[in-house]
Chain A
Amino acid sequence: MSPRPDSTANGRSRRIPVVAIVSAALLAFVAICALAQEIIAPKALEQDIYLGVVGGGVDGHLFGTDQLGRDILQLSLAGARSALAGPVVVAVGSMLIGFFLGTYAGYRGGIVDMLAGRYADLLLALPAVLLAIVVAGLVGRGYWVTVVVLIVLFSPSDVRLVRGAVIEQAPRPYIESARVLGIRPSRIMFRHIAPNIVPIVVANLLLNVAFALVALSSLSYLGLGVPPGAPDWGRQLADGRQLLGDNPLAAVVPGVLIILTATAVNLLGDWLSDLLDRRVVAR
Chain B
Amino acid sequence: MALAPSSIEWALAVVFLPLAGALLCFLAPRRAAALGLTIAALTAASTLGLTLEVVVAGTQRTVLGGWGAPLGIVWLADGLSVTLMAMTAAVGVAVSVYAAAYFRDEHTERAFFWPLWLLLWTALNALFLSADLFNLYVTLELMGFAAASLTALGGSAAAVSGAIRYLLVSVLGSLFYLLGVALIYHACGTVDIALVAACIGDAPRPAVQAAVGVMFAGLMLKTALFPFHFWLPPAHGSAPAPVSAVLSALVVKASFYLLLRLWIDVLGGGGRWLAELLGLLGAAAVIWGSVLALRQERLKLLIAYSTVAQIGYFFMAFPLALAGDSAAWTGALYLALAHGLAKAAMFLTAGNLMRFGGHDRIAELDRAVHRLPLTLTAFTLAGVSIMGLPPSGGFIGKWLMLEAAFRQERFGLAVVMLLGGALAAAYVFKVVGHAFTPAVRSRRERKIPAAMEWSALLLAVVAILLGLTLPMIWPLLQIGGPAAALSAAGAATGAVA
- Same complex for A and B? Answer no
Interface residues of A (CB under 8 A from B): none
